[in-house]
């Protein structure tokens, strides 16, 4: 299945440059127009500037750059030059990158004195939005970098999850589930960064309360090479042990929790993007869904197909 487009991305940045324009795509019904940089000024032009005038952007969501990949790009630049100009903005006497950090880093590796750039006007919010869109389109971000980019848009610019989702062409559930990854123990976030744990594993492990239990589960997953389904069984077992410890002084020890019930609870939590507790015994029980605001409740009702009006 084709992946949904993430907006105009760098095409908007390069408007007005000597590069030939691509064909105009057909209109997509019900498409949400994404905010981009202001329309290109006809005076925009490619300039060559000293490499040491350019500084990295603090809003760049991508933090990890493969050394091998950079060396390959550097070799290509050495042979062919930089085909696509870097996009920069003037900032505190320097030229701050908006797009093209890999090309900038590769140019440093081979000691280029000058690089081609297009200087544009952009505020911090536009820079972060475009950096996210560019990296998501190219699948350059690891899950933690993606989550941190969403969090930065929400916290620094007071945006809702719905608005962020619209800007980057994702569903609100995708954004909410990504943000949940930031609740993982820092050590586990590192495992996600380097690919030792998958997002599927992480979502299951998030069902455990506390860094210690999460680390214990992750260690078992890595040591035994557990798949996601096996991890669900492990987490259900650890959850039952947590319940025993918490209620030991209050009465009889509760029975071990059914793994199928725990699995259903995890699926509900992932589908609804919020805390869910499923109680089940002998064909009866209850589903408890947590919401944190009126907007969150309205979102859940929409997911469940309920019109509050």
Residues labelled as active-site residues: 101
d(CA 107, CA 87): 14
Extended beta strands in the chain, E state: 47-50, 54-55, 86-91, 94-99, 114-119, 276-281, 284-289
* Residue whose structure tokens are 């070799």: 75
d(C-alpha 33, C-alpha 12), whole Å:
13
Helix and strand counts by DSSP (H, E) for the chain? 13, 7
User: CA–CA separation, 134 vs 40, rounded Å?
Assistant: 18
Say how many C-beta atoms besides its own lie within 10 A of residue 9's C-beta. Answer: 22
Dihedral angle over CA of 31, 13, 95, 123, nearest 10: -30
Residue for token pair 């505190």:
92
**d(C-alpha 305, C-alpha 288), whole Å:** 17
Distance from first CA to last CA of the chain, Å, rounded? Answer: 35
Name the residue among 168, 190, 172, 194 with its Cα closest to residue 181: 190
The Cα–Cα gap between 272 and 289 comes to 9
Q: Indicate the SS3 state at residue 77.
A: helix
């Amino acid at each position: 299945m084709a992946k949904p487009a993430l907006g105009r991305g760098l095409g908007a940045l390069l408007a007005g440059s000597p590069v030939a324009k691509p064909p105009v795509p057909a209109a997509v019904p019900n498409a949400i127009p994404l905010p981009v940089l202001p329309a290109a000024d006809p005076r925009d032009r490619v300039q060559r500037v000293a490499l040491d005038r350019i500084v990295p952007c603090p809003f760049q969501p991508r933090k990890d750059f493969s050394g091998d990949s950079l060396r390959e790009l550097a070799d290509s630049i050495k042979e062919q030059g930089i085909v696509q100009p870097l996009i920069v903005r003037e900032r505190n006497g320097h030229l701050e990158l908006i797009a093209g950090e890999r090309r900038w880093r590769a140019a440093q590796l081979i000691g280029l004195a000058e690089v081609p750039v297009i200087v544009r006007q952009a505020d911090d919010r536009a820079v972060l939005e475009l950096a996210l869109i560019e990296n998501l389109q190219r699948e350059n971000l690891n899950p933690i970098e993606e989550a941190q980019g969403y969090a930065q848009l929400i916290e620094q610019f007071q945006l809702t999850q719905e608005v962020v989702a619209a800007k980057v062409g994702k569903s609100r559930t995708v954004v909410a589930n990504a943000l949940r990854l930031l609740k993982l123990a820092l050590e586990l976030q590192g495992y996600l960064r380097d690919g030792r744990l998958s997002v599927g594993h992480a979502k299951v492990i998030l069902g455990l309360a506390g860094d210690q239990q999460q680390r214990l589960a992750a260690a078992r997953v890595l040591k035994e090479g557990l798949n996601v389904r096996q991890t669900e069984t492990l987490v259900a077992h650890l959850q039952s042990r947590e319940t025993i410890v918490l209620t030991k002084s209050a009465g009889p020890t509760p029975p071990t929790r059914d793994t199928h019930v725990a699995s259903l609870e995890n699926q509900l939590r992932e589908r609804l993007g919020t805390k869910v507790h499923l109680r089940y015994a002998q064909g009866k029980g209850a589903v408890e869904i947590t919401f944190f605001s009126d907007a969150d409740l309205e979102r859940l009702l929409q997911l469940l197909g309920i019109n509050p009006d």
